[in-house]
């Protein structure tokens, strides 16, 4: 959503420079940095959200609990923590597509989606997705929705963090939760992209 998208190499160089500064200034140790990386690679992140979605797709009772109280349902799977105290799941249907944003800053359900992507925090995204969500989805993300689908935009805050329960794709009846995991993307849980196509 910025004027120029930075390459992965540029981003990596910036991260390395910041890491070095924090360590040199005594703000963090190498061990603390390694632990933070481990947390965000294995203990929080979109792989955990995908686990919740796959469970909801497979278990109607769990899905009902998730839609009723996302934070409590996630705790059943051992998923909770900072920025996940008050989560709300909004469910996509044949006629409604949901998108999340935080118009004030970058409130985001970290325990299930990990760190927010840079574009999520971009003021251009935050402003545009609320005004012209269908256009932003199509032009910025290549995600075109048909005119008969209503697009609802949910504004997260520090009191309420939304995320999307995407629709289970046709053709996955009888699939295990492990098989379903491969279809669920971070972008589908933000609402800016589809689940992966069924192979």
Active site residue ranges: 102, 105-107
How far is it, in rounded angstroms, from Cα 122 to Cα 5?
Answer: 12
Q: Which residues contact 35 (CB under 8 A, 6 or more apart)?
A: none
User: Maximum CA pair distance of the chain?
Assistant: 56
Is-contact 54 177, C-beta < 8 A? Answer: yes
How far is it, in rounded angstroms, from Cα 37 to Cα 160?
Answer: 26
């Amino acid at each position: 959503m910025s004027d120029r998208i930075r390459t992965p190499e540029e981003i990596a160089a910036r991260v390395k420079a910041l890491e070095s500064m924090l360590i040199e200034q005594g703000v963090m140790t190498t061990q603390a940095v390694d632990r933070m990386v481990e947390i965000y690679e294995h203990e929080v992140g979109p792989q955990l959200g995908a686990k919740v979605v796959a469970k909801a797709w497979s278990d109607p009772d769990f899905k009902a609990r998730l839609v009723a109280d996302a934070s409590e349902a996630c705790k059943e799977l051992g998923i909770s923590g900072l920025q996940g105290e008050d989560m709300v799941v909004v469910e996509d249907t044949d006629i409604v597509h949901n998108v999340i944003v935080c118009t004030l800053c970058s409130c985001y359900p970290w325990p299930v989606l990990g760190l927010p992507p840079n574009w999520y925090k971009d003021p251009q995204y935050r402003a545009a997705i609320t005004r012209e969500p269908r256009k932003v989805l199509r032009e910025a993300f290549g995600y075109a929705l048909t005119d008969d689908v209503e697009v609802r935009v949910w504004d997260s805050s520090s009191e309420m963090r939304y995320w999307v329960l995407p629709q289970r794709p046709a053709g996955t009846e009888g699939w295990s939760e492990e098989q379903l995991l491969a279809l669920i993307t971070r972008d589908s849980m933000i609402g800016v992209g589809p689940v992966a196509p069924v192979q």
